[in-house]
């Protein structure tokens, strides 16, 4: 099998200049593909890149699933959209030609609740890397490494003010007296597609939602907390920095209501 790749002068490789999306595929169907594609296009506009062609991305996603023999499995389709080849140093060529790469991998769902550990790397709202899914993804990689070193399996990342932002690869929600809390979408977090699904499910369940930048100490007194992303859906949080957290029945109710990833 020929391994697809990129040339040495691809700016995604040399400078992290590009974007990606990770889409859940169930039995060959791409879950919430329109939402992922729209987010990719909007992010490309922020970075000053053209958007890919939607039918091409769909075709390549199907081909990647087929090649990996994952048409009947739960799979992660990764869409990578780099700024393409070349340019002198930091500057892109006058007419950048972005490069598309689509791969597929089996996506097992974690069957244990997350053990969070607070990372020292904080999210910088002045950087597009905090709010877009860019190829400059080292901060979450380092945060996850820090969490693993501290005995966790996912990182809690704070914003510059020390408030809870999100996990390394997921959004964070917590529950206080029947109300659902999550960090504001502006700046420091990637506003997840599953986050939006959970907020919509909360509206359907008549659960009041509060968007708030709150310090991590709030989790100790919360009735429960969970993480969301397109691959894991809703995953309860078991502990933060070794301290067990309460488990709320609302977590399971919201997980059930998010039918798109059931």
Q: How many residues of this chain bind its own copies (CB under 8 A)?
A: 52
Please tell me whether residue 55 binds its own copies under the rule CB under 8 A: no
Please tell me whether residue 16 binds its own copies under the rule CB under 8 A: yes
Mask 86-125, x = binds its own copies (CB under 8 A)? Answer: --xxxxx--------x-x-x--------------xxx-x-
User: Which residue number, 136 or 239, has a Cβ lying nearer to its own copies?
Assistant: 136
Among 60, 80, 207, 230, binds its own copies (CB under 8 A): 80
**For the chain, first and last CA: distance in Å?**
33
Instruction: Give the separation between CA 168 and CA 126, rounded to whole angstroms.
Output: 18
Instruction: Give the separation between CA 217 and CA 215, rounded to whole angstroms.
Output: 5
User: Which residue number, 117 or 257, has a Cβ lying nearer to its own copies?
Assistant: 117
Mask 130-169, x = binds its own copies (CB under 8 A)? Answer: ----xxxxxxxxx-xx--x-----------x-------xx
Please tell me whether residue 239 binds its own copies under the rule CB under 8 A: no
Cα 103 from chain centroid? Answer: 17
Per-residue b or e along 52-89, where b marks 16 or more CB atoms closer than 10 Å to that residue's CB: beeeebeebbbebbeebebeebbbbbbbbbbbbbebee
Q: What are phi and psi of 196, to 5 degrees?
A: -65, -35
Instruction: Give the separation between CA 87 and CA 10, rounded to whole angstroms.
Output: 9
Smallest separation, CB 78 to its own copies (Å): 7
Residues that bind its own copies (CB under 8 A): 3-17, 20, 47-48, 78, 80, 82, 88-92, 101, 103, 105, 120-122, 124, 126-129, 134-142, 144-145, 148, 160, 168-169
């Amino acid at each position: 099998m020929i391994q697809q790749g990129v040339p040495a002068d691809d700016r995604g490789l040399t400078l992290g200049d590009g974007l990606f999306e990770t889409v859940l595929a169930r039995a060959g169907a791409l879950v919430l593909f329109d939402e992922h594609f729209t987010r990719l296009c909007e992010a490309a506009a922020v970075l000053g890149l053209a958007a890919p062609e939607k039918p091409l991305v769909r075709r390549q996603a199907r081909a990647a699933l087929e090649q990996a023999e994952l048409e009947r499995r739960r799979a992660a389709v990764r869409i990578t959209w780099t700024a393409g080849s070349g340019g002198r140093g930091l500057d892109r060529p006058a007419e950048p030609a972005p490069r598309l790469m689509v791969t597929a991998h089996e996506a097992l769902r974690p069957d244990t609740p997350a053990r969070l550990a607070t990372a020292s790397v904080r999210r910088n709202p002045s950087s597009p890397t905090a709010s877009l899914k860019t190829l400059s993804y080292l901060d979450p990689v380092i945060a996850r490494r820090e969490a693993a070193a501290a005995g966790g399996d996912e990182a809690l990342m704070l914003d510059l003010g020390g408030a809870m932002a999100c996990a390394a690869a997921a959004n964070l929600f917590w529950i206080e007296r029947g109300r659902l809390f999550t960090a504001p979408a502006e700046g420091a977090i990637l506003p997840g597609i599953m986050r939006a699904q959970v907020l919509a499910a909360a509206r359907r369940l008549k659960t009041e939602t509060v968007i708030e930048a709150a310090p991590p100490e709030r989790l100790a007194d919360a009735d429960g907390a969970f993480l969301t992303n397109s691959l894991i859906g809703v995953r309860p949080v078991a502990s933060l920095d070794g301290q067990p957290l309460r488990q709320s029945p609302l977590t399971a109710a919201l997980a059930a209501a998010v039918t798109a990833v059931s």
